[in-house]
Amino acid sequence: MNRAEIGRREFGRATSGKGPVATGRVREASPVLAAGVEEFIFADVFSRSGLPARERELLTVAVLATIGGADNQLGVHVPAALECGADAEELIQLCEQIAPYAGFPRALNALRAVRAVLEERGLPLPLPVVEVALADHQTLAAEVGDGAEGLLLLHAPELDRRMWRDLMRALPDGRRAVAPDLRGAGAAVGAPAPGDAGVLVADMCSVMDATGLARAAVVSQGATAPLALALAAAVPERVIAVTLVGPRAALSGTAPGTAQLAGELRPVTLATDAWGARYARDRYARLDPEGWGALTAVLAGLPTQGAGGTLQMVVVGEDDRTLGSDWTGFPVTEVPDAGHLVPLEAPGPLAAVLAGLS
């Protein structure tokens, strides 16, 4: 296989076969430029190992957006980035990253090009986010749907509200759900340490008030299970049900690192480097040890049983090996094709389980 054939294969792989067709039109007018695209850009540069195809396409989009005047090329490489595994939200954040270095005009032009491709493909924009003022700090909460009743989603201490992203999108249209950043995570990194569980309960009540959520089915992931139970016990009139997804005892001591993900995500998820794996790896790598430690210290002191008469259900991935004896007294629903972090690996099936809670 010669360089031109290698280039056409690489260009076609990244563009679902459309790239070589476009190069063919270039060749009609300029064989020199067509050869440059196929033999230099895609054979000599793009096809090399060392820098993965996804990263190459994201870099290409960033450069094209920064130099400006490359709308046609963006129309090729934005879809190519998606074909090579980039997430739609990653492309939007790329546009935001351009703004402080190349200016808002370039960033806005790039955003227009990215949004056009997303709309053409029916891909969703980021979830709406509301800023919430709590007693002693501010946080952010993602929300979908309408109504005064819905889901209140509590992320694992190691992650943030975005762990619920795909689950919230998979809920039935109009279904209400709110996912806040807890103290020490996401937008709430640097928040004052909670002195006791009452502070965390007050935080969640304030989030519900700010988002118009009068009553909620509370859903927790991992070590925030005791907080869900504490909220139900403290304000039973506001809690419809409690569902514990992959509940576990709060970790103590040194904050976890990315190596822990080998026991929390399935090997296939890590091998394919799906968005959920990239997101979790990034959150673990950027974990704020002080905020995480303060939050988990309070969670570790909470009981793992009881919430008045509130219905309690445990949901686990079929490959989750972290379920401890504290939770064996609850009805257990198993979700296939998922490990410990069910919302990242099986958001659709989990959304179907949660859809009937309120």
User: Which amino acid, 68?
Assistant: G
Secondary element (H or E) of residue 296: helix 289-300
- pLDDT score, position 319: 94
**For residue 177, what pLDDT is reported?**
97
Dist. CA 329–CA 319, nearest whole Å: 20
Same domain, 149 and 27: no
- φ and ψ of 56, to 5 deg: -60, -45
Is residue 194 a contact partner of residue 294, using CB atoms and an 8 Å limit?
A: yes
> Whole domain around residue 176: which residue ranges?
129-354
Distance CA 114, CA 120 (A): 10
Q: Are 316 and 345 in contact (CB under 8 A)?
A: no
Distance between CA atoms of 42 and 257, rounded to whole angstroms? Answer: 37
Kindly report the CA angle at 156 between 194 and 254, in degrees rounded to 5?
A: 70
Concatenate the DSSP letters of all residues of 185-237 into one string: SGGGTTPPPPSSHHHHHHHHHHHHHHTT-SEEEEEEEGGGHHHHHHHHHH-GG
Q: Which residue, of 121, 153, 178, is where some domain finishes?
A: 121
Residues 227 and 146 in one domain: yes
Question: Which residues, including other chains, have CB under 8 Å from residue 128's CB and lie 6 or more apart?
Answer: 142, 143, 144
| Residue 195 sits in the same domain as residue 276 | yes
Q: Which CATH number does the domain housing residue 164 bear?
A: 3.40.50.1820
Quick check: 70 and 33 in contact, CB under 8 A? Answer: no
Report the sign of the C-alpha dihedral through residues 226, 229, 233, 234, in that order. Answer: positive
Q: Do 77 and 157 belong to one domain?
A: no
> Looking at the structure, do residues 85 and 170 belong to the same domain, yes or no?
no
Residue 93, domain CATH? 1.20.1290.10
- The confidence score (pLDDT) of residue 358 equals 55
Residue 193 and residue 164 share a domain = yes
The pLDDT profile of the chain, 358 residues, written as one tens digit per residue, is: 788 777 788 777 777 777 777 778 878 888 888 787 777 877 777 778 888 989 999 999 999 999 999 998 899 899 999 999 999 999 999 999 999 999 999 999 999 999 999 999 999 999 999 999 999 999 999 999 999 999 999 999 999 999 999 999 999 988 999 999 999 999 999 999 999 999 999 999 999 999 999 999 999 999 999 999 999 999 999 999 999 999 988 776 788 899 999 999 999 999 999 999 999 999 999 999 999 999 999 999 888 766 555 767 899 999 998 877 677 677 889 999 999 999 999 999 999 999 876 5
**How far apart (Å, rounded) are the C-alpha atoms in residues 357 and 17?**
45
How far from 87 is each of 82, 105, 153, 169, CA to CA, in Å?
A: 6, 23, 23, 14
Last residue of a domain, which of 121, 148, 163?
121
The total number of structural domains in the chain stands at 2
Name the burial class of residue 188, with classes exposed (0-12), middle (13-18) and buried (19+) by CB atoms within 10 angstroms of its CB: buried
Q: pTM, whole model, 2 decimals?
A: 0.91
Say yes or no: 117 and 247 in one domain: no
Helices marked H in 68-190: 71-83, 88-102, 104-121, 165-170
Neighbour order of strands in the sheet with 149-154: 129-133, 138-144, 177-180, 149-154, 215-221, 239-245, 311-317, 332-335
